[in-house]
Each structure stands twice: as structure tokens, then as C-alpha cells.
Amino acid sequence: MAQTLDAQTRQRIQTWLDGQYDEATKQVIRDLLEADNVTELTDAFYKDLEFGTGGLRGVIGVGSNKMNRYTVGAATQGLANYLNQCFPGQPIQVAIAHDSRNMSPEFARITADVFSANGIRVFLFKELRPTPELSFAIRHLGCQSGVVITASHNPREYNGYKAYWTDGSQVVAPHDKNVVAEVNKIKSVADIHFQGNPDLITLIGEEVDAEYLKTITANCVNPVVIKRQHDLKIVYTPIHGTGITLVPTALERIGFTNVHIVQEQATPDGNFPTVVYPNPEEQEAMTLAMQQAQAIDADLVIATDPDADRVGAAVKNQAGEWQLLNGNQMASLIIYYLLQAWKDAGKLSGKEFVAKTVVTTEVIDAMCAAYGVPCHNTLTGFKYIAQVIRELEGKGQFIAGGEESYGYLIGDAVRDKDAVASCAMIAELTAYAKDKGLSLIDFLTEMYMRHGFYYEGLVSITKKGKSGAEEIQQMMADLRGNLPATVDGAKPIAVLDYQNLTRKDLRSGEVTPIPMGMGIERSNVIQLILDDGTKVSARPSGTEPKIKFYISVHAHLEKPADFNNTLAKLKDKVTAVQRDLGLL
């Protein structure tokens, strides 16, 4: 074995065998050594599980590179140390929630114990709850920080740990890097205070649910329409996750009386037995819901991921077939509906604003411009949208925001993407469309006819390991240094480089700064603008060994009958752009 494991991996293994780790953990390591399981040992110990700017995410198991009581404990100890530095001599409070994944309740309790052992008061949800409710609870309870145990929509073997700050958003600069630095200082299990103080841990649940649900009912803009369309036939699945705790109640509270839950997926279960991936972006995860919708001739299908921060939706198209709406389509529909509803209600005073990410559909920018509402574009990640809300607090009113990866936020009571509130709003806008005799596809068509038919394509390229990371960096360097003369016959006219925070006009050569703040900081993102309006964005993933290329194209849609033909042409253009850039 000594000849097959590198020195650093062997050292980490020995540290765990010699250290203050529990006997069951040590026995697992001994068994792997006895079985000569080099692959498993290497995966478990070749590095420390990285606490990134969003927290932890990894496979559950024994080892320095896995999610277990020790890696969770170290993350919490580092965060506790930082909180005590930031708020010296002050009473500090944190809120903790968890999803339905395996080991989530145990990791949540370990997190609570470590915080309390460091003199920090803990509000611990006694049962699983959605991530957006954790965000709400931080502000509602006056906490300085919070943690949710979740791996979002990752496969069943994963779990994770997301850290939040005082405003209920995930940590941003400078706190993100400062927390990472404190976590990295934890070099020994002896540095972690595992012995909790029960007097500092308060269990919470229904009382916070009630306040959170009030904010969702307050988002409702057309209660009269909902009353007329209360029997809208909705099929909902939580995909074995936390959404079951609040989504049906939220729909009921705003007035919907005909909600059908997919019973095979209604029970929270970290093994996610009915799906390959518990991700509403995947059609496979929504198959049971769409089958049920077909059987009962439903109006809408909605599905939430395990921690209920993302939502997917499916509707009937003109041919009567069920199809998924993508994240760009749903984000734009929500904002289209709200802008019109706020205008009709006389609520657009000139102080309202919308926020989205730089890779999310530009039809939202076009709509906001038409309604005279500023649309703030941020880096990818809802923490940046939350940063815009925080910076404009007291100066403007946030209507809604969204990102292409199925995350949306209505109102500012929560500071992270919120599938519970989004399910309620999607149901409401579907009722509004039906009240006008429209399907959601008709409603989408109406939006495109008014503001332009935008279509987006995504290419995600995986490059694993050290060599893969180097390849990704080289791809970004090539983009910066070797711009194509044309792309599908169109000339590049501008380059936005967020790493340098510059915008270069390729026709005049003028370089102007991209202002920092308002959801913008230095980041390895490049955007290429072509003279036909096409936009190409390149961004290495912050959590996976991937580089993503986003292509946005648009056209004019004259009449509903042209929808399918125009969509086909836009898809062909995206394919041509991808091929010209060597992405296919």
C-alpha cells in the first residue's frame, strides 16, 4: 500500500488513524487499508474537502475529502471563529436548517452543537425545511449568520453546507474569503468544539413557517383572478424533498383548491428512489408528474428540488403535449406578469427595480426598459442579486429577480432563490393567463411578440482533474487573446471582460471600466457581443470541473402562427454559433 498512495495521501490517512477521531471512523479506514482499496482511499484522502465561497459540497463518507462530522465540524468552527471576530462582545445568533438528504439531520445537529459550544445562540429547525425559509429566518430572528445542510440537486451520494450572512444571503466579499481563511486554519480535530451547550439551542418550526407564509401571500397581485380560477388543476412534486413541507400550504393559502401531489415522490427520502437526479431541470425527474398531469388533464405541473430553492414547470403546448419550460422562459414569464400587474395596479412609481444575472435572457432587459424599470445585471449566483437588493434597500423596491438555472425570487423577504414563493407565483400567473383564455405557451408568445423572441443555448464542457483545470484556463486565455473575426457571419463589436472589469468597443478601440459593486466584482467571465445582437458568454463553473458557454440570439415575432418557425430558426442559429466557435 505504501507504494501505491502518494505521500500526502498517506500522511492524511495516518493523521486520521492517530488523531482524536471516533473508533468507527478509524475502523472504516483500517478496513479499506486491509482490502487494499487504493481508489477509495485516494478519493477520500488525496485532499481536504474545500470550503469554497459558498460552503462545502461532497460525497458523504469517511475521509478529509468527504462530507462527515469532522469536515462539517471544521467548517462550523471556522465560521464560529469568524463570527466571534466580527461581533466581539455582542450576543451572536445563527439559524440552521436542513433538507431531506441522508445525514442532513445529523450534520445540522453537529453544526448546532459546534456553534453553541462557541457561545453562539442557535435557532435550529426541528425538522427539514426549504432553503429559502432559512434565508427568511435569519432576518426574521435577527441572526448574524445561518447554515443550511443541503447539496441542492446533486445525486443522492452528496451532501453540502451553505453559509449565510446577516441579510439572509449567502456570504459575499469580503466575508466569503475571510470565512474560507478561518476554516483553513482548522488543522486538527482537537481545534473543533463538538460538545454543544443545550441551553443555547432553541428548536423552531411552525411559528417561523407562519411568518414566512405571510410574505408569500403578500406577493399575490391578482387575488380576484385566483378566486375565479381557484380550481386551476395543478400537479406538484417535491421530488422527495423539503418542498412538501410548505408548497402545498402556500398554494392553499393564496386560494388554489385543486392541487394534486405526486404521491410516489411526496415522502422526503435522501435516496431519491424514483429519479436518477433529483433535479427539476431534468425531464426524467418530472416524468411521474407529467404522466399524472396527462391522466387528469391538468393545467400546470410544478416540481421543486430537494432544498426547494429551484422550481421546474411543465405546460401543454399547442399540440396538447406536455413540455418543460426552461429557466429563462419561466424567469421572463414571472417578470412579464409582475411588471404588467404592477403597472395595472398603479404601483410603478419609478423606484422599482428587477435583478438578474449576466447570462440570463435579455428579454428581461427589454421588458424592463419598456416599463421604465431598471434591470440590474449581476454575476452568476443569487448572492449577487441579494447584494443588489441590500445596496438599494430603502432607496428602491425590488419586484423580482431570476437566473437561467431555474432560480427565481419574488419580493425581498427572502434573499436567495425561493421555489416556494415561485410555485405560488407561477400558479397565479397561469391562472391569470387562463382567465384571459390563454395557455402559458400563448402567454409566452404574447411576451415575445411585444418584447422580442429571445432564445438561449448552453454548452457545458467537463474537464476533470488538474489537467482539466489547466485546459479550462487555456480556453479562457485563448478567448481573451484570439477573438474570432466573425461568428456565423457576424462581426464581434464589443468584449466585456469581468476579470479585468473592462468593456472594449472593437470598432473604436475605446476601453471603459465596468463598475464594481451592485452584484459585480472581478470574475473569470467573458462576454462577446456581435453586430447582429448575438451574445456569447464564457464562464468556468465555480463548483464543478466545467466551463460553460451561453449563446443568446433573438428575432422579431410578428404573429403567434410564426412561433414554431421562428424558434426553429433561432435554434439553428445557436447551433451555427456553437459550431463556429468549435463547441460542437
Provide the β-strand partners of residue 316: 322
Per DSSP (E only), the strands in 238-360 are 259-261, 300-304, 311-316, 322-325, 352-357
Rounded-to-integer distance, Cα 126 and Cα 529, Å: 50
Residue 568 burial (C-beta neighbours within 10 Å; 0-12, 13-18, 19+): exposed
Calculate ∠ Cα 120-242-386, nearest 5°.
Answer: 60
DSSP 293-319: HHHHT-SEEEEE-TTSS-EEEEEE-TT
How far is it, in rounded angstroms, from Cα 66 to Cα 406? 27
Contacts of 298 (CB under 8 A, 6+ apart): 233, 234, 235, 260, 292
Euclidean distance between CA atoms 158 and 151, whole angstroms: 6
**d(Cα 554, Cα 535) in Å, to the nearest integer?**
10
**CB 272, CB 303: distance < 8 Å:** no
- Could you say which DSSP state residue 22 is in? -
Strand (E) positions, 205-351?
Answer: 234-237, 259-261, 300-304, 311-316, 322-325
- Which of the following is catalytic: 100, 145, 152, 422? 152
Q: Is 152 a catalytic residue?
A: yes
- DSSP-based three-state secondary structure for 459: strand
The catalytic residue positions are: 152
